[in-house]
Amino acid sequence: MTEHALEIRGLAKTFGENVAVDHVDLIVPRGSFYGLVGQNGAGKTTTLSMAVGLLRPDAGTARIFGSDVWADPATAKQLVGVLPDGMAMPERLTGREVLTYLGLLRGMSKEVVAERAEELLSVLELDAAEKTLVIEYSTGMRKKIGLATALLHAPKLLVLDEPFEAVDPVSAATIKMILRGFVAGGGSIVLSSHVMALVEQLCDHVGVIDKGRVAAAGPLDEVRGVATLEDRFVELVGAGTVTTKGLSWL
Protein backbone atom coordinates (compact mmCIF):
# COMPACT_ATOMS: atom_id res chain seq x y z
CA MET A 1 0.00 0.00 0.00
CA THR A 2 1.72 3.14 -1.18
CA GLU A 3 -1.36 5.34 -1.42
CA HIS A 4 -0.96 8.89 -0.34
CA ALA A 5 -2.99 10.23 2.53
CA LEU A 6 -4.54 12.78 0.18
CA GLU A 7 -4.05 13.04 -3.53
CA ILE A 8 -5.57 15.97 -5.38
CA ARG A 9 -5.49 15.94 -9.18
CA GLY A 10 -6.62 18.84 -11.32
CA LEU A 11 -9.27 20.20 -8.96
CA ALA A 12 -10.95 23.24 -10.43
CA LYS A 13 -13.83 25.48 -9.39
CA THR A 14 -15.25 28.62 -10.95
CA PHE A 15 -17.85 30.83 -9.30
CA GLY A 16 -19.46 32.87 -12.03
CA GLU A 17 -16.58 34.76 -13.66
CA ASN A 18 -14.23 34.20 -10.76
CA VAL A 19 -11.83 31.26 -11.06
CA ALA A 20 -11.44 30.24 -7.42
CA VAL A 21 -9.34 27.11 -7.93
CA ASP A 22 -7.48 26.55 -11.17
CA HIS A 23 -6.48 22.90 -11.62
CA VAL A 24 -4.70 22.29 -8.37
CA ASP A 25 -2.51 19.20 -7.88
CA LEU A 26 -1.35 18.36 -4.38
CA ILE A 27 0.04 15.24 -2.76
CA VAL A 28 -0.04 14.82 0.99
CA PRO A 29 2.24 11.89 1.83
CA ARG A 30 1.27 9.40 4.52
CA GLY A 31 2.36 10.49 7.96
CA SER A 32 3.08 14.07 6.95
CA PHE A 33 1.99 17.26 8.65
CA TYR A 34 1.08 19.42 5.69
CA GLY A 35 0.55 23.16 5.82
CA LEU A 36 -1.40 24.93 3.11
CA VAL A 37 -0.65 28.64 3.01
CA GLY A 38 -2.00 31.47 0.91
CA GLN A 39 -3.50 34.93 1.09
CA ASN A 40 -7.15 35.50 1.88
CA GLY A 41 -9.16 34.44 -1.14
CA ALA A 42 -6.32 32.41 -2.65
CA GLY A 43 -8.52 29.31 -2.80
CA LYS A 44 -7.40 27.34 0.27
CA THR A 45 -10.85 26.78 1.71
CA THR A 46 -12.34 26.00 -1.70
CA THR A 47 -9.60 23.45 -2.40
CA LEU A 48 -9.99 21.75 0.96
CA SER A 49 -13.80 21.74 0.71
CA MET A 50 -13.58 19.99 -2.65
CA ALA A 51 -10.96 17.57 -1.35
CA VAL A 52 -13.22 16.27 1.42
CA GLY A 53 -16.55 16.24 -0.44
CA LEU A 54 -18.13 19.42 0.87
CA LEU A 55 -18.06 21.27 -2.46
CA ARG A 56 -18.56 19.75 -5.89
CA PRO A 57 -15.56 20.46 -8.14
CA ASP A 58 -15.99 21.49 -11.77
CA ALA A 59 -13.14 19.15 -12.68
CA GLY A 60 -10.54 16.94 -11.06
CA THR A 61 -10.41 14.21 -8.44
CA ALA A 62 -9.50 13.84 -4.80
CA ARG A 63 -8.47 10.54 -3.22
CA ILE A 64 -8.09 9.81 0.45
CA PHE A 65 -5.87 6.76 0.95
CA GLY A 66 -6.81 5.71 -2.57
CA SER A 67 -10.59 6.10 -2.15
CA ASP A 68 -12.17 8.61 -4.47
CA VAL A 69 -14.05 11.20 -2.42
CA TRP A 70 -16.72 11.67 -5.07
CA ALA A 71 -17.04 8.12 -6.43
CA ASP A 72 -16.77 6.28 -3.12
CA PRO A 73 -17.69 8.82 -0.47
CA ALA A 74 -18.61 6.31 2.22
CA THR A 75 -15.11 4.83 2.42
CA ALA A 76 -13.30 8.13 1.96
CA LYS A 77 -15.31 9.95 4.59
CA GLN A 78 -14.73 7.18 7.12
CA LEU A 79 -11.00 7.81 6.81
CA VAL A 80 -11.01 11.57 7.19
CA GLY A 81 -11.86 13.98 9.98
CA VAL A 82 -12.76 17.51 8.90
CA LEU A 83 -12.82 20.87 10.64
CA PRO A 84 -14.31 23.44 8.26
CA ASP A 85 -14.03 27.15 8.94
CA GLY A 86 -17.06 29.15 9.96
CA MET A 87 -19.73 26.48 9.46
CA ALA A 88 -22.63 25.96 11.84
CA MET A 89 -22.99 23.00 14.17
CA PRO A 90 -26.21 21.51 15.56
CA GLU A 91 -26.39 24.65 17.66
CA ARG A 92 -28.98 23.66 20.23
CA LEU A 93 -27.03 20.70 21.55
CA THR A 94 -24.40 20.60 24.26
CA GLY A 95 -20.87 19.56 23.33
CA ARG A 96 -21.40 16.10 24.73
CA GLU A 97 -24.66 15.67 22.84
CA VAL A 98 -23.03 16.73 19.57
CA LEU A 99 -20.26 14.16 20.01
CA THR A 100 -22.62 11.41 21.13
CA TYR A 101 -25.06 11.81 18.27
CA LEU A 102 -22.34 12.16 15.66
CA GLY A 103 -20.65 9.02 16.96
CA LEU A 104 -23.92 7.11 16.73
CA LEU A 105 -24.44 8.45 13.21
CA ARG A 106 -21.03 7.08 12.33
CA GLY A 107 -22.25 3.68 13.47
CA MET A 108 -20.17 3.53 16.64
CA SER A 109 -21.52 1.71 19.69
CA LYS A 110 -22.97 3.71 22.52
CA GLU A 111 -20.27 2.68 25.00
CA VAL A 112 -17.38 3.59 22.71
CA VAL A 113 -18.99 6.93 21.91
CA ALA A 114 -19.51 7.75 25.58
CA GLU A 115 -15.92 6.87 26.42
CA ARG A 116 -14.39 8.92 23.60
CA ALA A 117 -16.67 11.87 24.16
CA GLU A 118 -15.66 11.94 27.80
CA GLU A 119 -11.98 11.87 26.93
CA LEU A 120 -12.23 14.47 24.18
CA LEU A 121 -14.20 16.86 26.36
CA SER A 122 -11.74 16.57 29.19
CA VAL A 123 -8.59 16.86 27.05
CA LEU A 124 -10.00 19.84 25.17
CA GLU A 125 -11.19 21.36 28.47
CA LEU A 126 -14.79 21.56 27.34
CA ASP A 127 -16.10 19.49 30.21
CA ALA A 128 -16.55 22.54 32.42
CA ALA A 129 -19.22 23.81 30.02
CA GLU A 130 -21.28 20.65 30.38
CA LYS A 131 -24.66 22.38 30.15
CA THR A 132 -23.76 25.04 27.62
CA LEU A 133 -25.29 24.80 24.18
CA VAL A 134 -22.93 25.10 21.22
CA ILE A 135 -24.67 28.31 20.15
CA GLU A 136 -23.32 29.94 23.32
CA TYR A 137 -19.74 28.76 22.81
CA SER A 138 -16.93 31.25 22.23
CA THR A 139 -15.05 31.12 18.93
CA GLY A 140 -12.20 29.17 20.51
CA MET A 141 -14.61 26.66 22.05
CA ARG A 142 -16.29 26.22 18.66
CA LYS A 143 -12.93 25.35 17.11
CA LYS A 144 -12.32 22.84 19.87
CA ILE A 145 -15.68 21.11 19.59
CA GLY A 146 -15.17 21.04 15.81
CA LEU A 147 -11.79 19.40 16.31
CA ALA A 148 -13.40 16.92 18.69
CA THR A 149 -15.97 15.92 16.04
CA ALA A 150 -13.13 15.50 13.55
CA LEU A 151 -11.17 13.21 15.89
CA LEU A 152 -14.10 11.19 17.26
CA HIS A 153 -14.14 8.33 14.75
CA ALA A 154 -10.36 7.76 14.76
CA PRO A 155 -9.67 9.00 11.24
CA LYS A 156 -6.32 8.50 9.54
CA LEU A 157 -6.29 11.94 7.94
CA LEU A 158 -7.30 15.27 9.44
CA VAL A 159 -8.24 18.17 7.19
CA LEU A 160 -8.38 21.36 9.23
CA ASP A 161 -9.32 24.76 7.81
CA GLU A 162 -7.76 27.55 9.91
CA PRO A 163 -7.77 25.53 13.13
CA PHE A 164 -5.98 28.23 15.12
CA GLU A 165 -7.95 31.26 14.04
CA ALA A 166 -9.30 33.16 17.07
CA VAL A 167 -8.05 30.49 19.47
CA ASP A 168 -6.41 31.74 22.67
CA PRO A 169 -2.75 30.79 23.29
CA VAL A 170 -3.52 28.23 26.00
CA SER A 171 -6.09 26.40 23.87
CA ALA A 172 -3.75 26.66 20.89
CA ALA A 173 -1.03 24.91 22.85
CA THR A 174 -3.45 22.10 23.73
CA ILE A 175 -4.51 21.74 20.10
CA LYS A 176 -0.89 21.71 18.91
CA MET A 177 -0.07 18.98 21.39
CA ILE A 178 -2.99 16.87 20.20
CA LEU A 179 -2.10 17.35 16.56
CA ARG A 180 1.57 16.48 17.09
CA GLY A 181 0.50 13.36 18.96
CA PHE A 182 -1.81 12.44 16.10
CA VAL A 183 1.03 12.63 13.57
CA ALA A 184 3.43 10.81 15.88
CA GLY A 185 0.88 8.00 16.06
CA GLY A 186 0.97 7.58 12.28
CA GLY A 187 -1.82 9.96 11.27
CA SER A 188 -1.59 12.60 8.55
CA ILE A 189 -2.76 16.19 8.78
CA VAL A 190 -3.50 18.95 6.30
CA LEU A 191 -4.12 22.36 7.76
CA SER A 192 -4.58 25.73 6.16
CA SER A 193 -3.34 28.93 7.69
CA HIS A 194 -2.01 32.32 6.85
CA VAL A 195 0.25 32.42 9.87
CA MET A 196 3.62 31.42 8.44
CA ALA A 197 5.36 31.06 11.78
CA LEU A 198 2.79 28.53 12.88
CA VAL A 199 3.21 26.46 9.75
CA GLU A 200 7.00 26.54 10.09
CA GLN A 201 6.72 25.46 13.68
CA LEU A 202 4.32 22.55 13.10
CA CYS A 203 4.53 21.27 9.56
CA ASP A 204 7.05 19.20 7.65
CA HIS A 205 5.46 19.78 4.26
CA VAL A 206 4.02 22.94 2.82
CA GLY A 207 2.00 24.00 -0.20
CA VAL A 208 1.70 27.63 -1.30
CA ILE A 209 -1.53 28.55 -3.08
CA ASP A 210 -1.85 31.79 -4.97
CA LYS A 211 -4.78 32.91 -7.11
CA GLY A 212 -6.15 29.39 -7.30
CA ARG A 213 -2.90 27.75 -8.37
CA VAL A 214 -0.12 25.91 -6.58
CA ALA A 215 2.85 28.27 -6.51
CA ALA A 216 5.14 25.82 -4.71
CA ALA A 217 4.75 22.53 -2.85
CA GLY A 218 6.93 19.97 -1.15
CA PRO A 219 8.94 19.38 2.02
CA LEU A 220 9.21 22.54 4.08
CA ASP A 221 12.98 22.91 3.73
CA GLU A 222 12.82 22.54 -0.04
CA VAL A 223 10.12 25.15 -0.40
CA ARG A 224 11.59 27.82 1.83
CA GLY A 225 15.25 27.17 0.92
CA VAL A 226 17.54 29.34 2.98
CA ALA A 227 15.01 32.12 3.61
CA THR A 228 12.18 32.13 6.13
CA LEU A 229 8.83 30.83 4.91
CA GLU A 230 7.42 34.31 5.18
CA ASP A 231 10.03 35.83 2.87
CA ARG A 232 9.68 32.98 0.44
CA PHE A 233 5.90 33.34 0.52
CA VAL A 234 5.97 37.06 -0.23
CA GLU A 235 8.39 36.34 -3.07
CA LEU A 236 6.17 33.57 -4.48
CA VAL A 237 2.87 35.41 -4.41
CA GLY A 238 4.47 38.51 -5.91
CA ALA A 239 3.32 40.81 -3.15
CA GLY A 240 6.79 42.39 -3.07
CA THR A 241 5.22 45.79 -3.47
CA VAL A 242 4.05 46.00 0.12
CA THR A 243 2.64 49.46 0.48
CA THR A 244 4.72 51.99 2.39
CA LYS A 245 2.02 54.61 2.41
CA GLY A 246 0.78 55.60 5.82
CA LEU A 247 -2.57 57.07 6.66
CA SER A 248 -2.49 60.79 6.25
CA TRP A 249 -4.54 61.76 9.28
CA LEU A 250 -2.76 59.60 11.84
CA–CA distance, 223 with 238 (Å, rounded to integer): 16
The nearer residue to another protein, 102 or 183, going by C-beta atoms, is 102
The nearer residue to another protein, 95 or 187, going by C-beta atoms, is 95
Shortest Cβ 190–another protein spacing (Å): 15
**Contact residues for another protein (CB under 8 A)?**
15-16, 52-56, 73-74, 77, 82, 84, 86-94, 96-97, 100-102, 104-107, 110, 130-133, 135-136, 149
Shortest Cβ 73–another protein spacing (Å): 5
Shortest Cβ 192–another protein spacing (Å): 16
Shortest Cβ 98–another protein spacing (Å): 8
Distances (CA, A) of 184 to 8, 33, 61: 24, 10, 28
CA–CA distance, 88 with 142 (Å, rounded to integer): 9
The nearer residue to another protein, 153 or 224, going by C-beta atoms, is 153
Beta strand residue intervals within the chain, DSSP E: 6-15, 18-28, 33-38, 59-64, 67-68, 80-83, 157-161, 188-193, 205-210, 213-219
- Angle between helix 95-105 and 110-123 (nearest 10): 140
The nearer residue to another protein, 36 or 52, going by C-beta atoms, is 52
Amino acid identity of residue 169, one-letter, is P
